[in-house]
Chain A
Amino acid sequence: MIIFKAFFKILKKNLTGIALYVVIYLAITVFVSVTSTERADEVFSKEAMDIGLENRDQGRLGAALAGYLGQSNAVKKIPESREELCDAMYYREIDYVLKIPEDFTERFGAGEREGLIEGTDVPGSAASFFVEHEVDGFLKTVGMYLDAGIGMERALQLAEEDMGVRADVSFLSRDDARQMPVGYYYFQYLPYVFISIMVLGVGAAMMSFQDRDMDGRNKCASMPFFSRNLQIFLGCAAFTAAVDAVFLGMACGSCAEYLFSAKGALSAVNAVIFSICALSLAWFLSGFLKNQETIVGFSNLAGLSFSFLGGVFVPMDVMGETARQIARFVPSYWYEKANGEIQKAGGLADAGQIWLDFLAVAMFALAFFSMGLLARRMKLMRAQ
């Protein structure tokens, strides 16, 4: 098993680079799983401001405006002294100060629209935009009804109804994202690290063996062709198994509960199939690599491009239709698709589509392997 041993000695030389990818992967996974969990606790709500309100109006409009603002903001009493008000605004206890004058209803009813109310905001804050937008919206609506000849009381009633209508805001796949376990995020980013590691590790070793002079020397030897290739194949297989073992081992440590569930088992199978695909891709690409110096850049390029195209880093939901069509020709798309469907599936019995996704990734592995064989065959024929 001299070639098998040499294969791992060559791999050992690239261990630092491989370890770096593992660290990057863990950093991304931890970061995203933590931030995603935080996001998932939140629901969409309109931005609420702390408004200091002084309503001197004795009429109906001032009270209606105050009531409207109070529905989605915290309305506070303005401190009596100027010093206290400044402190409150400085410490963001009050975002915006709104003063409604005494004869506001009468003047507004008489058709006066501009410069009736006085607002003060904290310099550099966005509060004035939000509050003024709300105040303007309410008053314009009331003004519109008044201008149409509707009385103040009815106009206020209609304006309150109109302004009460809220846009329905929903997250893309929010329902899923909200319920995603940590295990989902752990497996989500595996394509990037698998492709990068395989290209760097296996690619470097394959390049050494496939170097023209080295290949010639190996062919001169009395070790049979089958035996030589078998040992290289075993080296690749053992490395892939080791990578799988390391990442599934880390999964045990970070999301053991998930891993030992039906979904976790499917995720593990998905990861193992993808690692074989990444190996096949590395084998294919290694046929085109010219020297060892370019391999780190090449592994980055392969890892990132397949990940971005396949929706590893950017959810498929936010990608355009064309991008999604192109992504179908990338194995990481099918991996991510399976990863998403695993979360929706009730169990192994409910995994019909997932098996098809697995099959798609396996077919990619076969395709890369065949293309690699063909490329090498053509190279050999050219050399002859």
Chain B
Amino acid sequence: MAEKVVEIENLVKRYRELVALDHLCLSVEEGEIFGLLGPNGSGKTTAINCILSLLKFDKGSVRVFGEEMRPDNYRVKRQIGVAMQNVAVFGELTVQENIDYFCGLYIREKELRRQCVEDAIAFSGLSEFRKFYPGKLSGGLLRRLNIACGVAHKPKLIILDEPTVAVDPQSRNRILEGIQKLNREGATVIYTSHYMEEVEQICGRIAILDKGRCIASGTKEELKSMIKTGEKIRIEAEGLTPVQEKEIGELRHVYQVGYQDGMLEIRCSGGKHNLAHILEYFGKNEIGFGRVYAEQPTLNDVFLEITGKELRDPVGGQQ
């Protein structure tokens, strides 16, 4: 069994009447990319701030690398790298100076630091921008600089709080690939986001937060298996009769059928070869059909089914 890098038990954080974290329990294992997924205001950043001892909490415990996390636990802090939601770099320093500064907060030895800075610049693809001031960088490059500043000292635990907000798709992919690379090199990553596609893409285990509580956790497969919704099939079909619609609804694993404007939408609760069975029915009854779409359940479906509300627009809808 892998060693637990972060252990959160019954964490409660209140802002006066507002309960930001409500008996939150989480554990992150060494070597994994752990996703914290939740809508805005669900408590992701508060949880991160508590892990980092930036916030005092009312109840519970946070242990990092087996030690209780405190503001003065510098030995543990040495092993943590952070890139927060808002870009936090000095506008007066160049890209290289910024990375050197943040690396210097962890590493005093000059030669080692120089090497770390070079590695971070190469990792983030900022080599040609090293003399640029942050104000001259695009949003994507700025995000990459923000991450480079957080990981330059080669930490064992990397905490990334929504690092792809307001980033173009190209930079987003580069950031996500970078995170996977850091993970392959041995870093444990805690990744918070409200973009489910990103979390699905890179995270091994995921915890879904809502109103400060962890409402579900596990691998994405485990999470999807928790809900009734399995495959979602949509077929362009003309002239479907109500009787045929009813018969389709009686096929195996089908639990919901909707037909509107020539589009048939079928929801299946698990099972295999659902599409094949449906198309077989279409063939037997000589029903003509056009395009066919089959979708596996998403984390949004999981969130929707558990909380009754949407998690967030898909990545394409990001700002």
Residues of chain A at the chain B interface (Cβ within 8 Å): 2-3, 6, 9-10, 12-13, 208, 211, 213-214, 216-225, 292, 384
Q: Using Cβ atoms and an 8 Å threshold, which residues of chain B touch A224?
A: 72, 74
* Closest CB in chain B relative to A25 CB, distance in Å: 25
Q: Smallest CB-CB separation from A223: which chain B residue?
A: B105
Determine how close the nearest CB of chain A comes to the CB of B135; give it in whole angstroms.
11
> What are the residues of chain A within 8 A of B71 when measuring CB–CB?
219, 225
Residue-wise, chain B 58-90 has the 8 Å CB interface mask toward A (1 for contact) of 000000000000011011011010101011111
Interface residue SS majority, chain B:
loop
User: Would A223 and B90 be within 8 Å (CB), given that A213-B84, A384-B56 are in contact?
Assistant: no
> Is B106's CB within 8 Å of the partner chain A?
yes
Say yes or no: A2 contacts B104, CB within 8 Å: yes
The answer to whether B84 and A216 touch across the interface, beta carbons within 8 angstroms, is: yes
CB-based contact B88/A9 at 8 Å: no
How far in angstroms is the closest Cβ of chain B from A209? Answer: 9
Closest beta carbon of chain A to B88's beta carbon, Å: 4
Q: Residues of A contacting B72 with CB < 8 Å?
A: 224-225
Question: B283 within 8 Å of A by Cβ?
Answer: no
Contact status A216-B54, CB under 8 Å: yes
Scan residues 89-135 of chain B and give those whose CB is less than 8 A from a CB of chain A. 89-93, 97, 100-102, 104-106
B117 to chain A, nearest CB (A): 12
B55 within 8 A of A: yes
Chain B stretch 136-162: residues in CB contact (< 8 A) with chain A:
149-150
Report whether A222 and B54 are in contact in the complex, using a CB–CB cutoff of 8 Å. Answer: no
Q: How far is the CA of A334 from the CA of B52 in the complex (A)?
A: 47
In contact, A292 and B80 (Cβ under 8 angstroms)? no
With a CB–CB cut-off of 8 A, which chain B residues contact A214? 88-90
The answer to whether B74 and A211 have CB atoms under 8 Å apart is no
Interface size on B, residues (CB 8 A): 32
Q: Find out whether the CB atom of A6 lies under 8 angstroms from the CB atom of B86.
A: no
Q: Which of A222, A223, A384 contacts B55 (CB 8 A)?
A: A384
* Contacts A/B (CB < 8 Å), 7 sampled: A9-B93, A9-B97, A13-B92, A220-B54, A223-B106, A224-B72, A225-B72
Q: A213 to B49, alpha carbons, bound, how many Å?
A: 12
**B92 contact from A10, A213, A220, Cβ within 8 A:** A10
Q: Hey, which chain A residues are within 8 Å of B91, CB to CB?
A: 208, 292
Asked whether, in the complex, the Cβ of A2 is within 8 Å of the Cβ of B101, the reply is yes
Other A-B pairs, 10, CB within 8 Å; known A213-B86, A214-B88, A217-B150: A6-B101, A9-B90, A12-B92, A211-B88, A217-B88, A218-B105, A219-B71, A220-B82, A222-B74, A222-B105
A384 and B16 CA atoms in complex are apart in Å by: 10
A6-B101, A211-B88, A216-B54 as given contacts; A222 in contact with B106, CB under 8 Å: yes
CB-CB under 8 A from B84, the residues of chain A are 213, 216-217
B273 to chain A, nearest CB (A): 51
- Minimal Cβ-Cβ distance residue in A for B93: A9
Smallest CB-CB A-B distances: 4 pairs? A2-B104, A221-B105, A213-B88, A222-B78
**Contact (Cβ within 8 A) A217 B82:** yes
Interchain CA distance A223-B104 in the complex, whole Å: 9
Which chain A residues lie closer than 8 Å to B80 at the CB level? 220
Give the chain A neighbours of B88 by CB distance below 8 A: 211, 213-214, 216-217
Assess the B93–A6 pair: CB atoms within 8 A: yes
Residues of A within 8 A of B75 (CB): 222
State whether B54 touches A219 (Cβ < 8 A).
yes
Instruction: Report the minimum CB–CB distance from B255 to chain A (whole Å).
Output: 47
| B149 neighbours in A (Cβ, 8 Å) | 217
* Min distance, Cβ A231 to any Cβ of chain B, angstroms: 10
Give the residues in chain A near B101, CB-CB below 8 Å.
2-3, 6
Complex interface: chain A residues within 8 A of B87 (CB): 213
Residues of B with C-beta under 8 A to A219: 52-54, 71
**Shortest Cβ distance from B104 into chain A, in angstroms?**
3
